[in-house]
């Protein structure tokens, strides 16, 4: 896949994810302009505040997951990743995060793998649940594990195929942009992605050589 084709997929994915909170901001502003009741105006302000916070949190997450955030060095503080994940899922309260990453720093590429796997796993928890995120460096490289557990898990089979490199490049949809990015980073680094999807449990694993 050419770089401009992937950029198109990524832009479509970002626009889709940002449409809801930005649309809510627009609706809130329109309601506020026409509403004179103090209680209703207060509700409009609450709506605007929540929508603005959701938009900002998504942008912060996407900046790390897809962009060049984290400064000019080769490694990024993993606390930034946790804050980004907390911002993406924390306000909703439907997903519990179990953070098991003890490494203080991680390469930008590895962090993108971790965040995009978290994004895919979180989307699969359609009724909420728990996300466990772990990463460990060792002599031969780095292992990343993301485990999702909940009452209902819906992983698009095309995402699983894309992650492990079995999808047709010409048929990849915008919803698979995160999976394609993970596959490209891992394969370029000589690593491997594994997917295990059992009833109520979804596990992603990525191994990167040193």
Which pLDDT tens digit goes with each residue over 156-204? 999 999 999 998 887 788 899 999 999 999 999 999 999 999 888 999 9
Closest C-alpha to 145, from 210, 202, 104, 63: 202
Task: Give, in order, the Cα–Cα distances in Å from 14 to each of 33, 55, 154.
Answer: 29, 11, 20
Domains in the chain and their CATH numbers? Answer: 3-209 (3.30.565.10)
The dihedral formed by the CA atoms of 159, 127, 99 and 66, expressed in degrees to the nearest 10: 40
Phi-psi region of 194 (alpha: psi -120 to 50; beta: other; left: phi over 0): beta
Between strands 141-149 and 129-138, the pairing is antiparallel
Q: What is the C-alpha R_g of the chain?
A: 18
Residue 81 has pLDDT above 70, yes or no: yes
Q: Is 70 exposed, middle or buried (0-12, 13-18, 19+ CB in 10 A)?
A: buried
Tens digit of pLDDT for each residue in 88-98?
987 677 899 99
How far is Cα 125 from Cα 138, in angstroms, rounded to an integer? 30
Evaluate if residue 29 carries a pLDDT over 70: yes
């Amino acid at each position: 896949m050419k770089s401009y084709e992937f950029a198109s997929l990524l832009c479509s994915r970002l626009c889709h994810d940002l449409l809801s909170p930005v649309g809510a901001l627009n609706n809130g502003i329109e309601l506020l302009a026409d509403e004179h009741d103090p209680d209703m105006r207060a509700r409009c302000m609450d709506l605007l505040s929540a929508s603005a916070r959701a938009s900002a949190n998504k942008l912060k997450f996407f900046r790390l997951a897809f962009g060049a955030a984290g400064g000019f060095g080769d490694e990024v503080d993993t606390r930034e990743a946790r804050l980004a994940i907390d911002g993406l899922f924390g306000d909703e309260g439907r997903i519990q995060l179990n953070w098991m990453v003890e490494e203080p720093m991680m390469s930008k590429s590895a962090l993108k793998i971790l965040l995009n796997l978290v994004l895919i796993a979180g989307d699969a928890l359609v009724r909420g649940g728990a996300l466990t995120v772990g990463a460990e460096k060792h002599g031969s490289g780095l292992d990343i594990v993301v485990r999702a557990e909940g009452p209902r898990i819906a992983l698009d089979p095309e995402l699983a195929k894309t992650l492990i490199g079995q999808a047709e490049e010409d048929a990849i949809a915008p919803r698979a942009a995160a999976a394609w990015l993970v596959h490209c980073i891992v394969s370029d680094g000589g690593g491997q992605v594994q997917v295990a999807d059992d009833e109520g449990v979804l596990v992603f694993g990525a191994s990167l050589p040193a």
